[in-house]
Amino acid sequence: MGARFAVGLTGGIGCGKSTVADLFAARGAALIDTDVIAHQLTAPGGAAMAALLQAFGPDYATPDGAMDRARMRELVFTDPGARTRLEAILHPMIRAATATAALAATGPYLIYVVPLLVESGNWRGRVQRILAIDCRESTQIARVMARNGLPEAQVQAIMAAQASRQQRLDAADDVIDNDAGLDALLPQVERLHQFYLALA
């Protein structure tokens, strides 16, 4: 059997990737969310925890044995070497887990939800289409501040560490505009869902 038709869904923080992914899932697409997989790997007893503790020490675990995300986020922001070490542990595990999930997935086509798709470099060869969820940067900032309770400067720092809006748009085959809310979103999702069904 040939490779399944697959779409890589990406977008900056606060652009509404999860909302859009759920709309595709409601139409029957099989979702594989790399963030969810990363959370499972770094949860208490997660497959990545032993290697993470060995690399970063016990200070980077919470009392219940999960990765201390806030502390790790601070570290990788200030220390590129730490980011590289973290990615060297997590990326191969995430890749293996997404491959396993893809084999088990049912549905007419696959959607990989990958926040850092443009940055990770190797996704272009694994998907047939890249779908970017786009919104204005001011919308992103407002959404993330409201959702995560983060100060504006920290949201801007997170956005600065991600690919720029333009880089994502340049990499994308398809774009969904998510500035205007759900009513504007539904027809865009429906149109692309029909398009992907036809391609699959």
pLDDT digits (tens, 9 = 90+) for 102-114: 999 999 999 999 9
- The answer to whether position 140 is within a domain reads yes
pLDDT > 70 in the chain, percent: 98
* Under 8 Å between Cβ of 178 and 20: yes
**CATH code of the domain in which 160 resides:** 3.40.50.300
Measured in residues, the chain has a length of 200
Report how far residue 32's alpha carbon sits from residue 106's, in angstroms, rounded to the nearest whole number. Answer: 11
- The answer to whether position 53 is within a domain reads yes
Range of the domain at 74: 6-199
Per-residue pLDDT at 1: 33
Q: Which residue has the higher pLDDT, 161 or 152?
A: 152
Instruction: Give yes or no for residue 192 having a pLDDT over 80.
Output: yes
Instruction: Give yes or no for residue 188 having a pLDDT over 90.
Output: yes
Q: What is the pLDDT of residues 133-147, one digit of tens each?
A: 999 999 999 999 999
Per-residue pLDDT, averaged over 76-82, amounts to: 89
- The answer to whether position 130 is within a domain reads yes
Per-residue pLDDT, averaged over 4-8, amounts to: 93
- The answer to whether position 1 is within a domain reads no
pTM above 0.85, yes or no: yes
199: its two tokens: 């391609």
Instruction: Give yes or no for residue 2 having a pLDDT over 90.
Output: no
What is the residue-averaged pLDDT of the chain? Answer: 92
* CA quadruple 9, 13, 14, 18: dihedral, nearest 10: 30
The tally of domains found in the chain comes to 1
- The answer to whether position 173 is within a domain reads yes
Per-residue pLDDT at 48: 97
CA distances from 5 to 29, 47, 170, 186, 189 (A): 11, 29, 21, 22, 17
The torsion angles phi and psi of 76, rounded to 5 degrees, stand at -70, -25
Question: CB neighbours of 176 closer than 8 A, spacing ≥ 6?
Answer: 20, 131, 132, 133, 134, 185, 188, 189, 192
Q: What is the pLDDT of residues 8-57, one digit of tens each?
A: 999 999 999 999 999 999 999 999 999 999 999 999 999 999 999 999 99
Question: CB neighbours of 185 closer than 8 A, spacing ≥ 6?
Answer: 16, 19, 20, 23, 176, 178
Per-residue pLDDT, averaged over 165-180, amounts to: 94
- The answer to whether position 15 is within a domain reads yes
Report how far residue 15's alpha carbon sits from residue 6's, in angstroms, rounded to the nearest whole number. Answer: 21
pLDDT tier for residue 3 given thresholds of 50, 70 and 90: low
- The answer to whether position 185 is within a domain reads yes
* Under 8 Å between Cβ of 111 and 29: yes
Per-residue pLDDT at 134: 96
- The answer to whether position 177 is within a domain reads yes
